[in-house]
């Protein structure tokens, strides 16, 4: 029987990663990543993942790996693994943390793969916590607070946690973007959040489908006025949410149908097509 690492490859700078390679990364906190789902050796929204990796690398390290380097790493991981898998690409400085030399060296790329995931079935009930992520527009690894608040939420009888900012506005959840439904339009919270690749994919496909959407300030007290709410991330375009703290919100099958339609409208690329999305 193959081990998990043999079935699901781990690559470092396009080659197999050894235990010695991985050991220094065990407690690394200065890195960023993107996560995606592979189905039938195809992926969706490759352009959004590539843009995320490039922009965050420039912000954190002052330079980014080339498109071809990233594409080759992803392609090899997909080709070496099973047809369906989860895949995470992490960029980090080989100079390590607490070093001013990070911008002098091209970031290294770690590609991890694992079993595919579709996320929880839901519906979910979310606790509400005041929390603002550091560098909110970057998907970075220094996110211990998210696990802390998730565990607190579960201990309180909830499924997960949603965050409000210092102004009381809902923004995002632990590992999720939030979206609401007023019966006709998709409403996105207006706050400093990480724009997820699923969120970006859904937004552009909703435009294609002619489904209205807008951004607005959303406070917990406003939740009861909506016809539905969801969380979404790279696992899924939507899991129903039925409560934010003590404030309930109804389930909206039509909302989930619209999000699923938008997801299905996005074309999935085979690995051979990776060079066509620059």
User: pLDDT tens track of the chain, all 278 residues?
Assistant: 444 445 888 888 888 888 777 777 776 788 999 999 999 999 999 999 999 999 999 999 999 999 999 999 999 999 999 999 999 999 998 877 776 665 667 899 999 999 999 999 999 999 999 999 999 999 999 899 999 999 999 999 999 999 999 999 999 999 999 999 999 999 999 999 999 999 999 999 999 999 999 999 999 999 999 999 999 999 999 999 999 999 999 999 999 999 999 999 999 998 777 765 55
pLDDT at 1: 40
Strand, helix or coil at 36? strand
Asked which of 54, 80, 114 is the last residue of a domain, the reply is 114
Residues 6+ apart with CB under 8 A from 10: 16, 17, 22, 110, 111, 112, 113
Helices (H), the chain: 4-7, 19-22, 46-61, 67-80, 144-155, 197-209, 253-265
Which DSSP string do the residues of 219-242 spell out, in sequence order? BGGGGGGSSEEEEEETTEEEEEEE
Asked which of 114, 137, 166 is the last residue of a domain, the reply is 114
What would the pLDDT profile of 192-230 be if each residue is shown by its tens digit? Answer: 999 999 999 999 999 999 999 999 999 999 999 999 999
Its pTM stands at: 0.92
Does the residue 270 lie in any domain? no
Q: What are phi and psi of 222, to 5 degrees?
A: -80, -15
- 134 and 91 housed in the same domain: no
User: In the chain, how many domains are there?
Assistant: 2
pLDDT at 267: 95
Q: Report residue 231 as tokens.
A: 């969380």
pLDDT at 13: 87
Cα separation of the two ends of the chain: 39
CATH number (domain holding residue 98): 3.30.470.10
Which contiguous run of DSSP H or E holds residue 188?
A: strand 186-189
- 160 and 204 housed in the same domain: yes
Does the residue 276 lie in any domain? no
- 68 and 185 housed in the same domain: no
Asked which of 114, 144, 159 is the last residue of a domain, the reply is 114
Bridge-partner residues for 184, per DSSP? none
- 58 and 81 housed in the same domain: yes
- 141 and 252 housed in the same domain: yes
- 27 and 79 housed in the same domain: yes
Does the residue 272 lie in any domain? no
- 83 and 149 housed in the same domain: no
- Domain span including residue 13: 4-114
- 214 and 85 housed in the same domain: no
């Amino acid at each position: 029987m193959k081990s998990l690492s043999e079935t699901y490859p781990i690559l470092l700078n396009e080659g197999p990663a050894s235990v010695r390679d991985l050991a220094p990364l065990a407690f690394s906190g200065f890195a960023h990543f993107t996560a995606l789902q592979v189905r039938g050796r195809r992926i969706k929204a490759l352009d959004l993942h590539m843009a995320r990796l490039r922009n965050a690398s420039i912000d954190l390290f002052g330079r980014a790996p080339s498109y071809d380097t990233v594409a080759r790493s992803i392609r090899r991981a997909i080709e070496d693994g099973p047809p369906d898998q989860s895949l995470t690409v992490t960029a980090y400085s080989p100079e390590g943390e607490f070093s001013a030399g990070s911008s002098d060296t091209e970031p290294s790329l770690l590609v991890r793969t694992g079993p595919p995931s579709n996320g929880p079935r839901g519906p979910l009930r979310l606790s509400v916590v005041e929390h603002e992520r550091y560098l909110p527009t970057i998907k970075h690894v220094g996110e211990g607070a998210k696990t802390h608040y998730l565990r607190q939420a579960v201990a309180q009888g909830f499924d997960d946690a949603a965050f409000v900012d210092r102004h009381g506005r809902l923004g995002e959840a632990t590992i999720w973007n939030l979206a609401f439904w007023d019966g006709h339009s998709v409403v996105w919270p207006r706050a400093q959040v990480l724009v997820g690749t699923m969120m970006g994919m859904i937004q552009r496909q909703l435009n294609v489908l002619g489904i209205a959407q807008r951004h607005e300030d959303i406070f917990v007290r406003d939740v009861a006025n909506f016809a539905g709410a969801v969380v979404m991330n790279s696992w899924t375009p939507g899991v129903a949410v039925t409560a934010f703290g003590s404030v309930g919100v109804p389930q909206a099958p039509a909302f989930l149908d619209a999000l699923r339609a938008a997801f299905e409208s996005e074309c999935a690329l085979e690995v051979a097509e990776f060079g066509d999305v620059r």
